[in-house]
Amino acid sequence: MFAYYHFLKRVLSIFYPPIAPKSNEVLRFGILGAADIAPSALVTPAKSHPEVIVAAVAAREEKKAKAFAKKHGIPAVHLCYDDLIADPTINCVYVPLPNGLHYEWALKALKAGKHVLLEKPSVSNAAEAKSLFRHPILRDSDALVLLEAFHYRFHPAWQLFLTLFDSKEIEEVEVQNYLAAGIFPLDDIRFNYSLSGGTLMDFGSYAISAVRQIFGAEPTFVRSASYRPMPEGFDQTVDEAVYATYEFPNGGIARITADLQARGGYWFPALTKNWPRLYGALPTLFLKLKPIEEAVGNGLVKETRRKIVFHCYMGPHFYHRIDIGTTTKIIDPNKGRKILKSEKKTEYKKAYNWLKNEEGKKGELWWTTYRYQLEEFVNRVKKRQGSCVWFDSEESIRQMEMIDATYEKMGLPLRLTSKELEGGS
């Protein structure tokens, strides 16, 4: 009963956060495009941030821009993206455009002297990532801030999860990111090759960023990668679902499944295989550590195996649960590894706020991943330490390299490079 009360209270504050009085030193954000994600990722988080105002939005159609501005209380409207970027009253630009436009508009905004919060995946491929994230404009020590918005990384639940294992000891990681069929229409930007769509670029990019940080390394190679193409009549270079396996330097394996039109997963598959998949609807991570063996006297050994499951790692602010399952066995190696005793324990963990009261770490139980992310973005701009969680430029490059390597293994073309590409190292 109590748990339901706390859940409802949290969800209510997620959608209707308290409005913070604004300081005199606010950052004024402009949004490029009246995108669906903008309210959750910026407009709502900004309400509770004392140093952020969403000051302008630009959309390709005046009517759409005005309607978006009215609905979200945004004071200024620009009738094209260039005008917003040129607006001298704006210091930060949020780019929630289709992936294929990220490079061009992020670079234009940086060149205009604006800090950039850039939606994931940062760009279309590794060539674009190198050009953007190593651009001379960012090299200067007093540089502008550019962040690829992998919001889940900023939430205390993810940070708690990272403390529960030693990367070197990981045997296997599995990521399952299913989204029920029908949520996104087949003509959505996510399925448009010319806009750098594809499930690997979308749900897949979360899985890739998660396993890269869990192993604390880049994969040595892509062991296998396959995909389910879009239905007949749609672009066959677009992956509707992706399945890939990677090997990491410690010998560990990562398997990822990302499906933006997931079906089935029920009993009586012959009957239900086309039903939108609700089972496993919360993106989940399964982690298995290498077994540990230790001598316990009388020639016996104790074997400890640990499995960690992180339910809902991408949107932990609504709900999440981290299960740590430990199985210990007393084994007699002299009797064909006979098991003399076996015990299983499961511990459950969660973190909606920082568990320790540390300098620089701010939060509330209802802060979303986006709100935690915004806090750090502002801290970077203002050169404050903050929580120290960040997704740095070189990481954004490595992220795109792993995406490219996966497309290559799948036999699909890389997403197209922008004609605006500069440098191209």
Ligand X SMILES: NC(=O)C1=CN([C@@H]2O[C@H](COP(=O)(O)OP(=O)(O)OC[C@H]3O[C@@H](n4cnc5c(N)ncnc54)[C@H](OP(=O)(O)O)[C@@H]3O)[C@@H](O)[C@H]2O)C=CC1
Ligand Y SMILES: O=C1OC[C@@H](O)[C@H](O)[C@H]1O
Contact 307, 291 (CB under 8 A): no
**Binding-site string for ligand X from residue 270 to residue 289, where x marks contact by CB under 6 A and - marks none:** --------------------
Residues 100-119 that bind ligand X (CB under 6 A): 101, 119
Contact 333, 325 (CB under 8 A): no
Out of ligand Y, ligand X, none, what residue 157 binds, judged by CB under 5 to 8 A for its kind, is: none
Residue closer to ligand X by CB (options 33, 252) is 33
Contacts of 231 (CB under 8 A, 6+ apart): 186, 240
**Site size for ligand Y, by CB under 6 A?**
3
Residue closer to ligand X by CB (options 241, 253) is 241
Among 123, 129, 189, 402, binds ligand X (CB under 6 A): 189
- Amino acid letter, 297: G
**Site size for ligand X, by CB under 6 A?**
21
Instruction: State the DSSP code for 20.
Output: P
Contacts of 221 (CB under 8 A, 6+ apart): 246, 247
Q: What span, in angstroms and rounded, lies between the C-alpha atoms of 352 and 395?
A: 26
Joined together, the tokens standing for residue 171 give 């045997």
Among 96, 219, 252, 386, binds ligand X (CB under 6 A): 96
What does the H/E/C string look like for 213-249? HHHCCCCCEEEEEEEEECCCCCCCCCEEEEEEEEECC
Q: What span, in angstroms and rounded, lies between the C-alpha atoms of 425 and 411?
A: 24
CA angle (413, 246, 202) in 5-degree steps: 50
Q: Return the closest-CA partner of residue 54 out of 378, 340, 330.
A: 378
Q: What span, in angstroms and rounded, lies between the C-alpha atoms of 84 and 88?
A: 9
Instruction: Give yes or no for residue 59 binding ligand X (CB under 6 A).
Output: yes
Stretch that binds ligand X, among 15-23, 90-98, 175-183, 386-394 (CB under 6 A): 90-98
Catalytic residue status for 120: yes
Instruction: Give yes or no for residue 202 binding ligand Y (CB under 6 A).
Output: yes
Q: What span, in angstroms and rounded, lies between the C-alpha atoms of 96 and 209?
A: 19
Among 14, 27, 31, 41, binds ligand X (CB under 6 A): 41
CA angle (8, 371, 191) in 5-degree steps: 95
Residues 194-223 that bind ligand X (CB under 6 A): 195, 202
Contact 303, 293 (CB under 8 A): yes
Out of ligand X, ligand Y, none, what residue 198 binds, judged by CB under 5 to 8 A for its kind, is: none
Out of ligand Y, ligand X, none, what residue 151 binds, judged by CB under 5 to 8 A for its kind, is: ligand X
Residues 155-184 that bind ligand Y (CB under 6 A): 179
Out of ligand Y, ligand X, none, what residue 156 binds, judged by CB under 5 to 8 A for its kind, is: none
Stretch that binds ligand X, among 27-35, 218-226, 266-274, 347-355 (CB under 6 A): 27-35
Q: Which of 47, 64, 111, 120 is catalytic?
A: 120
Instruction: Give yes or no for residue 375 binding ligand Y (CB under 6 A).
Output: no
Residue closer to ligand X by CB (options 97, 374) is 97
Interface positions with ligand X (CB under 6 A): 33-37, 41, 59-60, 64, 96-99, 101, 119-120, 149, 151, 189, 195, 202
Interface positions with ligand Y (CB under 6 A): 179, 202-203
The residues that are catalytic are 120
